[in-house]
Amino acid sequence: MTEKELRALLEDMSLREKIGQLTQLDASVFNDEGPVTGPASELGLNDDDAYLCGSVLGLTGAAETEALQKMCMAKQPHGIPLLLMADIINGYKTIFPIPLAQGCSFEPEAARKVAEIMAKESAAAGLHVTFAPMVDLVRDARWGRVMESTGEDPYLNSLMAAAMVEGIQGQENSYEDRLAACTKHFAAYGAPIAGKEYNNVELSERSLREDHLPSYKAAIDAGTAMMMTSFNTLDRVPATASKWLMRKILREEMGFNGVLISDWNAIGELIGHGVAQDPKSAAELAITAGVDMDMMSFSYACGLEKLVEEGTVSEQLIDESVWRLLQLKNQMGLFENPFRSASTQQESELILSAEHRLAAREVAAKTFVLLKNEDQLLPLEQDDSVAYIGPYIEEKSILGAWSFFGKTEDCVSIREAVEARGVQAEYAHGCGVLNPGQAIYGFRYDTESNLTEAETEKMIADAVALAANKTKVVIALGESNLQTGEGGSRGDITIPDIQKKLLEAIYAVNKNIVAVIFAGRPLDIRDIKDKTKSILYAWMPGTEGGSAIVDMLYGDTAPQGKLSMSLPYSVGQVPVFYSELRTGRHTEDGAEPTNRFLTKYCDIPNDPLYPFGFGLSYTDFSISPVRLSSDQLTLDTTVKAVATVKNIGNREGVETIQLYIRDEFASVARPLRELKGIKQVKLEPGQEAEVEFEIDTNMLRFYDINMEYKAQHGDFTVWIGNNSKTDNSVCFTLN
């Protein structure tokens, strides 16, 4: 449709029809015959209102989406097609590792591959938009939704955000056999006070701009079609009602001109925040702030028409939002083909295809982080006498909390992968994932342990007997996938007590223990660290998780993942992250233990158990001292920072080299160090390579005392290493 035709369509629409376009309904509002009774009708929406909606979320399947599209278009006065949306976070049916795990790959191309495949499968199933990527910066492991982010660092998150948008939307945002991306949640949703879901956020403007906003900007620069508002307040104003955040920052400063949608009932929740009295006043606040679409609060449908009739809201304001939505539908070709790539044949060919399963297996291997490997217990030998013990040996609920459309029966467990390998092994369940009788109330379903204390004691005894007769033990532990995700905030971020008891019992009879940890967040794993020789952090690895883990245990692949979020020593440290600000009394662990008047804990270390960027391999690497092309930098020049990386082990490996920089003196307090570059090298034993980073003044800019974004003259320290605690540094001066 030409722009002229699209304008004519907008001009011919009634006000009620326009408001309908700005309303998103859940698929549960409809059945095969049409709209059904429920919350919508309780708020005054009739069948005609439902048919006017511009978007539906939560429905998938080529046949199902085509039927709904036909039904709604037939009732829509101008035959305007629906936008069909859903939460496709880390895969549609072929499920990949959770985004936090993808961050551990430190490889944007891996994230792009995931996004591409999940978009293709979803498009074949009739979807147009995914509510992804989530690019919120996360530093508090208590928060359940850390699993949806790629981690604690602005630079890494920005790289991943751009790659995900590009993978979802396709070459030059063509949407050909892809989806439109809806980046979320704007803004700073990942910093809730105390790590509690839906809690408010307290940030300085500098912290917001320097740490939290860059990843959203990266997604916008990559062309994200949509953005989603966040539930939280910022500066005590709910984001969904913040003109400063949505109009000034998002649209004016960042240049976003796409569709802005609320999160689920976020407009309605303005009443709960105490800034709106009723749905009508909530609608006024949101539309004035620039929110184009109302997701499932019905505030626009029930309130906007009255606001226009009263003269409180201009119809021009509504036209602006409708125009953005019509443009997106037009860009996606829906007016010419409302069903786009939906195809039952494509579904059968693409979904869970051998190619997609292989990709899921390969990506998973890049996300696993080897935290410990004493006595080179890993990799296992084919003829090792191994006992496989623990609740996650046979568990197939390894998809992650947001994998709504994936099926556990499609997953490969560790046991299945070991048996497929044909090695000699014996198995013992040991205990359940949860404590006996424990129940978890999930986002879309619940789970509970049906095991009794007596049954569990017998299972532990059987596991101990097996472990005592084996050379090595692989124990698979972790939190339930329902203990993470939305509404999954936890104050105790350890594994369930029954799993600790199992590990302790195994440790009493066999010290050669390899732990494989399944999690949706950084856990407190001190107990596991103390009682194992090797630890492989596998996160929630997805459909091919078991296959990828066994590949790594036996050395077919080698670990290369690096932590995208620090693993805390204990929950008392969180939020804990590497780039904290300098203080007047800063201290490093181990320094001046008798001096209490420092920035430190008196009873636990300051440092996390494992820092951001950390991860071992099956080989070892040396990194030479940093060399600079010059120790002087000007506004018009660059400095090259170089280090030589050598594989000094006995097998091939991939190392991720990280560049960090610190501003030694500035007009405001600056972080201890900041990640500014990533390079991966793959080296054979004895092989070496030079890794070079180019430093320019753009990498040194920050918001100064006057809130001007600029670099300041002075001294800087640059580190090159393989984690955020490297001490391999050299200095230069910006003149």
- Give residue 445's pLDDT: 72
pLDDT-derived band at 42, boundaries 50, 70, 90: low
User: Quick one: pLDDT at residue 202?
Assistant: 97
Instruction: Band the pLDDT of 720: cuts 50, 70, 90.
Output: very high
User: Shortest CA distance to 161 belongs to which of 106, 214, 117, 215?
Assistant: 215
CATH number of the domain enclosing 10: 3.20.20.300
514/408 same-domain check: yes
In terms of Cβ atoms closer than 10 Å to its own Cβ (0-12, 13-18, 19+), residue 179 is: buried
Q: In this predicted structure, what is the pLDDT of residue 552?
A: 98
- Do 360 and 323 belong together in one domain? no
Asked whether residue 343 is domain-assigned, the answer is yes
Q: Is residue 133 reached through a cis peptide bond, with omega within 30 degrees of 0 on the bond before it?
A: yes
Tell whether the model's pLDDT for residue 40 goes beyond 70.
Answer: no
Query: Residue 1 and residue 13: Cα distance in Å, rounded?
Result: 16
Q: Do 344 and 323 share a domain, yes or no?
A: yes
Same domain, 295 and 366: no
CA distance linking residue 89 with residue 216, whole number of Å: 16
Answer yes or no: is pLDDT of 599 > 60: yes
Residue 498 shares a structural domain with residue 410: yes
- How many structural domains does the chain have? 3
Residue 444 in this model has a pLDDT that exceeds 80: no
546: nearest Cα among 392, 371, 380, 352: 392
- Tell me the sheet residues that pair with 388: 427, 474
Alpha helices in 278-314 (DSSP H): 279-289, 299-310
pTM: predicted TM-score of the whole model, two decimal places: 0.97
Q: How confident is the model at residue 596 (pLDDT cuts 50, 70, 90)?
A: confident
Tell me how far apart the 2 most distant CA atoms of the chain are, in Å.
81
Looking at residue 37, its pLDDT comes to 58
Q: Are residues 471 and 522 in the same domain?
A: yes
Q: Give the three-class secondary structure for 361.
A: helix
Cα torsion for 244, 326, 338, 125, to the nearest 10°?
A: -10
pLDDT given at position 43: 62
Instruction: Decide if 117 contacts 356 (C-beta within 8 A).
Output: yes
What is the per-residue pLDDT for 48? 84
Same domain, 440 and 338: no
Pick 332 or 44 by higher pLDDT: 332
Mean pLDDT of the chain: 96
Cis-peptide, bond into residue 185, ω within 30° of zero:
yes
d(CA 308, CA 304) in angstroms, rounded, equals 6
Asked whether residue 184 is domain-assigned, the answer is no
- Between 237 and 582, the higher pLDDT residue: 237
Of the candidate ranges 186-190, 219-223, 365-369, 580-584, the one whose mean pLDDT is the lowest:
580-584
Q: Tell me the β-bridge partners of 56.
A: 25, 84
- Domain identity same for 331 and 370: no
**Higher pLDDT, residue 33 or 639:** 639
**In sequence order, what are the residues at sequence separation of 6 or more whose Cβ sits closer than 8 angstroms to the Cβ of residue 348?**
none
All residues at 6 or more sequence positions from 306 whose CB lies less than 8 Å from its CB, including other chains = 280
pLDDT in tens, 559-581: 999 999 999 999 999 999 999 99
pLDDT at residue number 46: 82
**Arithmetic mean of pLDDT, 147-172:** 97
Q: Cα separation of 295 and 227, whole Å? A: 13
227 and 261 in contact (C-beta within 8 Å)? yes
Average pLDDT over residues 126-147: 98
Residues 378 and 336 in one domain: no
- Min mean pLDDT across 36-45, 175-184, 242-251, 304-313 is at 36-45
Q: Which residues contact 560 (CB under 8 A, 6 or more apart)?
A: 105, 365, 366, 615, 617, 653, 654, 655, 656, 680
Give residue 176's pLDDT: 86
User: Is 70 exceeded by the pLDDT of residue 591?
Assistant: no
Instruction: Give tens-digit pLDDT for 244-264.
Output: 999 999 999 999 999 999 999
How would residue 656 be classed by pLDDT, with cut points 50, 70 and 90? very high
Q: The domain containing residue 627 runs over which residues?
A: 619-734
Mean pLDDT over residues 698-727, rounded? 98
Contact 566, 601 (CB under 8 A): no
Where a domain ends, among 530, 553, 576? 553
At residue 39, does pLDDT exceed 60?
no
Residue 675 and residue 526 share a domain:
no
196: how many CB neighbours lie within 10 A of its CB?
Answer: 14
Average pLDDT (192-210) is: 97
Residue 485, pLDDT score: 95
Residue 588 in any domain: the answer is no
H or E element in which residue 643 lies: strand 639-647
* 460-470 mean pLDDT: 98
Q: Is 627 exposed, middle or buried (0-12, 13-18, 19+ CB in 10 A)?
A: middle
For 344-402, how does the pLDDT look when each residue is reduced to its tens digit (9 = 90+)?
999 999 999 999 999 999 999 999 999 999 999 999 999 999 999 999 999 999 999 98
Is the pLDDT at 30 greater than 80? The verdict is yes
537, 519 Cβ separation under 8 angstroms:
yes
Q: State the catalytic residue, choosing from 87, 136, 263, 292.
A: 263
- Domain-located, residue 483: yes
Question: What distance in Å separates the CA atoms of residue 617 and residue 562, rounded to the nearest whole number?
Answer: 10
Percent of the chain with pLDDT over 90: 93
Mean pLDDT of 590-616: 89
CA dist 297 and 279 (Å) reads 8
Q: Indicate whether 103 belongs to any domain.
A: no
Does 447 score more than 90 pLDDT?
A: no
Q: Can 446 be counted among the known catalytic residues?
A: no
Angstrom distance (rounded) from CA 629 to CA 206: 32
pLDDT band at 675 (very low <50, low <70, confident <90, very high): very high
Last residue of a domain, one of 331, 352, 373: 352
Is residue 373 situated within a structural domain?
yes
pLDDT value at residue 586: 83
Report long-range pairs for 678-681 (Cβ below 8 Å, ≥24 apart).
Answer: 678/106, 678/155, 678/156, 678/159, 680/106, 680/107, 680/560, 680/654, 680/655, 680/656, 681/645, 681/654, 681/655, 681/657
| 653, two tokens | 């490996």
Task: For residues 386 and 508, state if they share a domain.
Answer: yes
What per-residue confidence (pLDDT) applies to 446? 78
CATH number of the domain to which 628 belongs: 2.60.40.10
Q: Is 690 exposed, middle or buried (0-12, 13-18, 19+ CB in 10 A)?
A: exposed
Which of 310, 331, 352 is a domain's end point? 352
Confidence at 240, pLDDT banded by 50, 70, 90: very high
* Contact present, 138 and 190 (Cβ < 8 Å): yes
Q: Evaluate whether residue 132 is within a structural domain.
A: no
Q: Does residue 122 form part of some domain?
A: no
Residues 391, 326 within the same domain: no
